[in-house]
Structure 1
Amino acid sequence: MRALSEKRVLLPLKVSLPFKKQIVPMKNSLLMLCSLMAALLLGSCSSTQKVTLDPISVHGARQGSQIYQASYTRLTDIIHTSLDLKLDWDSAYVIGRATIEAKPYNYPLSEVVLDAKGFRINQVSLIEGYDNKPLKYTYNNKKLTIHLSQKYSGEQKFKIQIDYVAMPEKLKVGTDINGPGSKGFFFVNRDNSEPGKPKQFWTQGETQNNSCWFPTIEDPQEKMTQDISITLPDGMVSLSNGLLDFSTDNGDGTHTDSWRQELPHSTYLTMLAGGDFRIAKDSWKDKEVSYYMEPKFADHAKLIFGKTPEMMEFFSNILKVEYPWEKYAQIVLRDFTGGAMENTTATTFFEGMNMTPAEYLDENHEDIIAHELFHHWFGNLVTSESWANLPLNESFATYGEYLWNEHKYGGDEADYQGWNDANAYFNTERAKQADVIRFNYPDREQMFDVVSYQKGGRILHMLRKTVGDEAFFESLTLYLKRHSYKTAEIHDLRLAFEEVTGKDLNWFFNQWFLASGNPELEISNHYDAAGKKATVTVKQVQSLNAAPLYRLPVKIDFYANGQVERKQVVVDKAEQSFSFDMLQQPELINFDAEKYLLATKKENKTPAQYALQYKQAPLFLDRMEALLAITKQPADKLSAPLIISAMNDRHWAIRRLAVKSLALLNKEAQASAHDKVKDLAINDSRSYVRASAINVLKKVYKAEKNDETLSKAQQDVSPSVVKALTE
């Protein structure tokens, strides 16, 4: 799932650079740079509407807390669930009949306990052949305990039927559910009281909300097949998991859609939605790919979602596991409580995906699309066995975004997103106190945070760099094939990597997945001209009461006379020095040359060294790190040339930062860049750069002649540019 707070939906804030005309000591702290990068990002999506979510009160467990959230004890194994549903729009009721085929998981059982919140139970029966035999039951408004007519053991199956009415709108926050976003089934504009708003319904199961509309066992380990029949007014279409078997005209102004999913998935992934939607059809191989959108936006469906088949092909190839489900549909809903949800074969999206072509220029939301699709391998095909292991779902889905950007748009765009994710973690102080895999959460909803998403995604990138690309993807293939349509925990992932690589990787998983915090590094270097040796000293200064002493395989690049020499070391002590024979003093020592460590770093680089890093080091993060550092010293003679040069950078985020940083320079330097800013305002390929250039023209160059440029910019339909012109 993508909560909007985890998705980089960046709100319309007016951000000024916080370091105006300041000269700071010549040290670089990644943590300090993250704050600036966050400001850059917050200012980058001014056209995105602010979305208000239900408030969540988070009370973290202290270190050493005795809370232990064990995996669910499995007693009953649901094999298949059939639902026959009707909707009472006036009362917001779901009128249902659930038929559940089940068996004992292991031990004999004579009763079944199901989750069912706020139901009116009409009848519970045991189905034997053509007979329905009433069963006794007890119900406390949350748990339905069914007393079977005999004790079942081994592989003995039984089938029970429950006639019920679910009343999600009557569930009380704090008593029945945690919050208004947890009622499972949602009616949108059911009484047509909001003009212009469509009448819809939709469900949201994760984490334990599907029991608000059908009786089930709500735990990630509980996997089942299913079929769902829903009766709706004519003119309203439905979507559910699996394939639409048939649609029956009832002859009374209603029709009944019957959906069937023959592959098992976790109960929280069951979904149902409907309304007035147009369906745009696509395909991948022999499977249907479809996009459900309101009529107003239906013509844009292929623009917004049209890369989905290409994503399916890419993920299938890179994982060597073909997309494993019957179809793939995506639907855009009103009032959706999160960013998106990866319901099996039928992903739901928030209404921000209802985009016009103009809005698409600013933000295409491909990261959300890739995130939810990647879940169909990591989360749906192989599911975390408990909420404590949620990063096995969400960290991978987050890294799926990185992989797609790397494949489609190149390493710079992928690394931009990766650094974005690192910033989200570094700038959330509480996140440093939480283990990635953690069993001491007070509330399972707290697992949906920057630790499970962004930090976890960065850890997977470090794992990839540690074992190498070939071993990384081979390990993922083994993990997916071994646990297909089952659940897994973090040690299953480790064992797959150890089997492929032949290496003991406990050290990596212990310090990253099973611990909190991150390395905090102080890096210095020295050159001994007499001994012809370059020495790099690394200190780990993080509190060892809160974080491990890390083992960090890392590469160091030494730059001299246009040549680069790479050395590899392992940092595993609180302080250690590494010495290398060097015939002359390096012009630049680039520690963590692959820029893959999730660590804060303080280094004693000079402006000249940062300038060299920007010009010669190969990665996006090399350039962004150097530019951010140099903007903190705007009076240095190297700063203006580098900032002005960066306006030609190949990545838009660096161009944008360079344009915004012109405000720090002296008048002479600003004047030399005026023509370039005017060019960027009209011709840059990225709308956010054009918008920033217009803002700079109106503020830094307000006394200059910009009328012709601003007049041309009026033809730009990007919302961020329109906003810049009208502010």
Structure 2
Amino acid sequence: MSRNSLFISITCLLLSCWSCATTKHVDIPPVNIYANAPNADVYHASYPLKISIKHTDLDLRFDWERARVFGKATLTLQSYFYPQDSVILDANGFEVKAVMLLQDAARKKLPFTYDGKKLAIALDRKYNRDELFKIFIEYTANPNQLEVGKDIASPDDRGLYFIQPDELAGIPRQLWSQGETECNSNWFPTINNTMLKMTQQIALTVPDSMITLSNGLLKQSKRNNDGTRTDIWKQELPHAPYLVMIAAGNFKIVKDQWRGKEVSYYMEPKYAPYASMIFGKTPEMLEFYSKKLGVDYPWDKYAQIVVRNFVSGAMENTSASVFFDRMNMTPAEYKDETYEDIVAHELFHHWFGDLVTAESWANLPLNESFATYGEYLWLEHKYGREEADMHALNDELAYFAKDKNKELDLIRFNYADREQMFDEVSYQKGGRILHMLRETVGDDAFFASLQLYLKKHAYQSVEVHDLRQAFEQVTGQDLNWFFDQWFLAAGHPLLEIKTHYQDSTKQVIVQIAQKQDLASMPLYKLPIAIDIYVDGHVDRQTVTLTKQEQTFHLPATKSPQLINFDAKKCILGKKEQSKSLDEWAYQYKHAPLFMDRFEVLENLNDVLDSAKAKEIVVAALTDSAWMIRLMALGAIEKFTKDELKQIYPTVKKMATADERSYVRASAVMLLRTLFQNYDNKEIFKIASQDDAPSVQQALHMK
């Protein structure tokens, strides 16, 4: 799932304050999460398994005006290991009308008790683990009547949402569900346990004018005599109950395909012409992920639907992902934000989350860290490492932006509320940790380990040790040290780096100190790549930091022009290192990565009165990375009038010709401020034809 509060945008740099340390979230209502009390004595274990749900069969009709569900559920159940003579189901806010045991063609009433949340059913006898039995439940669900603070924690937990039409606001009537974390039990009886895997069949009876969507394949569609239609959707591969979804409304289906499987995009008719623009790379993503992971996309189809007023950014329901209505984009809006990362995120979940599912909310990063890293993998494949690294920088900034994040383990059992797990630690930090793991074991071993992990645990639930063991089996290495310090501990390293050249021994001396609080964070073991640049030649040395303070002696024939610490730019941590302006200039010109150049501009703020620093900024105005160009525009406010005059043609060109709309918008704003005394009428006339919202906002902002 993509949480609202986790979307990071670089648009804050449009009128860029010099540092890139601030980021801007998408402006939609936040999810309120409250931190644990210090040293809270909380442990959330995995839920016990007493009863397995093997299959769920639902027959659903809807009261659209009163937002009610009239449901008939048939659950095929099995004792997990020990014999059971009762079943306890999650069913929040129901009116339970009948509970029966189905035996062949006969129905037998079963005694039950119901407290408004739990439905406790007494069976006619004990059932052993090799016996299947079926229970029928007739009920009415009232998700809109659930009280916040009593029945549900927030309005985002209703599970099923009836969107009432509003012609003036252009809002159509819709219905959609959102099951994660434990909200599906607000509209059908189930067991809220991520370790369960079940198949399903759902019959949806809706007005004949509506289009429906659910997991799996549409097996039957039948028109009824009362102006309704019943669609029957069948999911034949097992998945967790929270991944069940339904949706209905006035949608147009734009169909695509991948390897003979249907790939479809459900959009409101107004936005359907842009469906291929928004979602059209999905087949290519399916092919890339299937080949990269060595495990083909396993589900029967892949549908993506955009709904109104969704409670999150998106949700990876098995074979049918739901997206928020900011995906209802025009070509102009697409110039600013494509949300391609969200499309990739939800698709990657179909391996990590849907096929292999975290066994508890404490292990949620096994879903969300992977989906976040799936974004990086797609961007790296499609657009190159530079684009992927810019995206990764946003992840790092999101994690570092909140000081409390350093106090939280990645895999953690002491959350006060399971919704707390959906944070920058589970998503962004976890994604960066997976990148470090990839760099640690190498590409071949990394993807071979993921293939083993997925194949071994397909249609099952897992904990973090299953992931570690897959990596250890492939690599033949004990990786407890990596998992203990990154997956099972809080924080990140704070590294103080000092370097100098010792001419008498022809050695580069690298002194590293770990400055993090060792009372709350690990003493890290860190493999570190160090590039030594001597007269155009680069010598990479790899060292392993294991102590709080450690000195390394590395060979060099003469004093280097640059010592590039963490040359792979993969360590998730804070680094303090002083370099001369000459070294920064050399790094900008010669080091190969986006993050090398980002480090340079990030460290020039205090020396911008220097001519050499300004030379770097001028060069950065035409950098290949749009974020670097944006940072450079944010720095020129410290230039003199004569210096501004020299770069004016460059800024003017950027306002209309830069390939990234945010850069064009920033340049337009600077023309209106720093260059307001210049004759900009013609360039503003050209820019006015640019329909990117950011550019239009820059032109008209007061």
Contact persistence 2:16–2:633 (CA under 8 A): no
Residue 154 of structure 1: SS of its match in structure 2? coil
Residue 495 of structure 2: SS of its match in structure 1? strand
List 4+ stretches of structure 1 deviating above 4 A: 12-19, 192-195
User: Partners in 1 of 2:468 and 2:157 — Cα distance?
Assistant: 33
Instruction: Report the alpha carbon displacement of residue 581 of structure 1 after superposing the two structures with TM.
Output: 2.7
Aligned residue number for residue 620 of structure 2: 646
Aligned residue number for residue 105 of structure 2: 130
Instruction: Report the alpha carbon displacement of residue 710 of structure 1 after superposing the two structures with TM.
Output: 1.1
User: Partners in 2 of 1:115 and 1:94 — Cα distance?
Assistant: 16
1:249 to 223, 245, 249: 223
Aligned residue number for residue 698 of structure 1: 672
User: Partners in 2 of 1:232 and 1:305 — Cα distance?
Assistant: 27
What is the identity, as a one-letter code, of the residue corresponding to 2:56?
T
User: Partners in 2 of 1:697 and 1:195 — Cα distance?
Assistant: 36
Residue 263 of structure 2: SS of its match in structure 1? strand
Kindly tell me the number of residue pairs found equivalent between the two proteins: 701
> What are the superposed Cα offsets for residues 599-619 of structure 1, whole Å, 9 maximum, x if unpaired?
100001111111110100000
> What are the superposed Cα offsets for residues 177-206 of structure 1, whole Å, 9 maximum, x if unpaired?
11111010100016x576521000100000
Residue 361 of structure 1: SS of its match in structure 2? helix
User: Partners in 1 of 2:347 and 2:691 — Cα distance?
Assistant: 30
What is the identity, as a one-letter code, of the residue corresponding to 2:5?
S
Instruction: Report the alpha carbon displacement of residue 637 of structure 1 after superposing the two structures with TM.
Output: 2.0
Instruction: Report the alpha carbon displacement of residue 530 of structure 1 after superposing the two structures with TM.
Output: 2.5
Aligned residue number for residue 60 of structure 1: 36
User: Partners in 2 of 1:59 and 1:473 — Cα distance?
Assistant: 35
Contact persistence 2:352–2:367 (CA under 8 A): yes
1:37 to 20, 24, 39: 20
Aligned residue number for residue 69 of structure 1: 44
> What are the superposed Cα offsets for residues 44-68 of structure 1, whole Å, 9 maximum, x if unpaired?
x9xx6x2114x424132434x3211
Instruction: Report the alpha carbon displacement of residue 369 of structure 1 after superposing the two structures with TM.
Output: 0.2
Aligned pair 1:383/2:360, yes or no? no
Aligned pair 1:219/2:196, yes or no? no
Instruction: Report the alpha carbon displacement of residue 134 of structure 1 after superposing the two structures with TM.
Output: 0.6
Instruction: Report the alpha carbon displacement of residue 583 of structure 1 after superposing the two structures with TM.
Output: 2.3
Aligned residue number for residue 104 of structure 1: 79
Instruction: Report the alpha carbon displacement of residue 222 of structure 1 after superposing the two structures with TM.
Output: 1.2
Distance 1:57 1:414, change over 3 A: closer
Residue 78 of structure 1: SS of its match in structure 2? strand
Instruction: Report the alpha carbon displacement of residue 657 of structure 1 after superposing the two structures with TM.
Output: 1.1
Aligned residue number for residue 156 of structure 1: 131
Instruction: Report the alpha carbon displacement of residue 592 of structure 1 after superposing the two structures with TM.
Output: 0.3
1:237 to 204, 211, 227: 211
What is the identity, as a one-letter code, of the residue corresponding to 2:694?
S
RMSD between aligned alpha carbons? 1.3
User: Partners in 2 of 1:15 and 1:470 — Cα distance?
Assistant: 40
Contact persistence 1:327–1:345 (CA under 8 A): yes
Instruction: Give matches, 1:346-361, under 5 Å.
Output: 346-361=320-335
Aligned residue number for residue 29 of structure 1: none
Instruction: Give matches, 1:453-532, under 5 Å.
Output: 453-532=427-506
TM-score, L = length of structure 2 = 0.98
Aligned residue number for residue 537 of structure 2: 563
Which range moves more in the overlay, 175-184 or 522-531? 522-531
Contact persistence 2:47–2:360 (CA under 8 A): yes
Contact persistence 1:691–1:724 (CA under 8 A): yes
Aligned residue number for residue 332 of structure 1: 306
What is the identity, as a one-letter code, of the residue corresponding to 2:154?
G
What is the identity, as a one-letter code, of the residue corresponding to 2:382?
K
User: Partners in 1 of 2:48 and 2:350 — Cα distance?
Assistant: 25
Instruction: Give matches, 1:240-389, under 5 Å.
Output: 240-389=214-363
Aligned pair 1:7/2:11, yes or no? no
Aligned pair 1:403/2:386, yes or no? no
Which range moves more in the overlay, 554-563 or 488-497? 554-563
What is the identity, as a one-letter code, of the residue corresponding to 1:440?
N
Instruction: Report the alpha carbon displacement of residue 13 of structure 1 after superposing the two structures with TM.
Output: 5.7
> What are the superposed Cα offsets for residues 622-677 of structure 1, whole Å, 9 maximum, x if unpaired?
01111121233211221111101111111111111112211122222211110011
What is the identity, as a one-letter code, of the residue corresponding to 2:591?
A
Aligned residue number for residue 434 of structure 1: 408
Instruction: Report the alpha carbon displacement of residue 529 of structure 1 after superposing the two structures with TM.
Output: 2.2
Contact persistence 1:631–1:643 (CA under 8 A): no
Distance 1:489 1:158, change over 3 A: same
Distance 1:371 1:169, change over 3 A: same
Contact persistence 2:13–2:634 (CA under 8 A): no
Contact persistence 1:61–1:440 (CA under 8 A): no
Instruction: Report the alpha carbon displacement of residue 286 of structure 1 after superposing the two structures with TM.
Output: 1.1
Contact persistence 1:607–1:636 (CA under 8 A): no
Contact persistence 2:55–2:77 (CA under 8 A): yes
Aligned residue number for residue 573 of structure 2: 599
Structure 2 spans left out of the alignment, 5+ residues: none
Distance 1:513 1:375, change over 3 A: same
Residue 5 of structure 1: SS of its match in structure 2? helix
Instruction: Report the alpha carbon displacement of residue 480 of structure 1 after superposing the two structures with TM.
Output: 0.1
Instruction: Report the alpha carbon displacement of residue 154 of structure 1 after superposing the two structures with TM.
Output: 2.2
User: Partners in 2 of 1:182 and 1:142 — Cα distance?
Assistant: 14
TM-score, L = length of structure 1 = 0.95
Residue 679 of structure 1: SS of its match in structure 2? helix
User: Partners in 1 of 2:652 and 2:602 — Cα distance?
Assistant: 23
Contact persistence 1:241–1:346 (CA under 8 A): yes
Distance 1:195 1:540, change over 3 A: closer
> What are the superposed Cα offsets for residues 523-569 of structure 1, whole Å, 9 maximum, x if unpaired?
01122223322101000000001100000001101111111111110
User: Partners in 2 of 1:308 and 1:437 — Cα distance?
Assistant: 31
User: Partners in 1 of 2:609 and 2:169 — Cα distance?
Assistant: 57
Aligned pair 1:449/2:423, yes or no? yes
User: Partners in 1 of 2:16 and 2:355 — Cα distance?
Assistant: 45
Contact persistence 2:408–2:425 (CA under 8 A): yes
User: Partners in 2 of 1:373 and 1:549 — Cα distance?
Assistant: 36
Contact persistence 2:8–2:398 (CA under 8 A): no
Residue 74 of structure 2: SS of its match in structure 1? strand
Aligned pair 1:633/2:625, yes or no? no
User: Partners in 2 of 1:86 and 1:605 — Cα distance?
Assistant: 68
Residue 193 of structure 2: SS of its match in structure 1? coil
Give the fraction of aligned pairs with identical amino acids, expressed as a percent: 51
Aligned residue number for residue 24 of structure 1: none
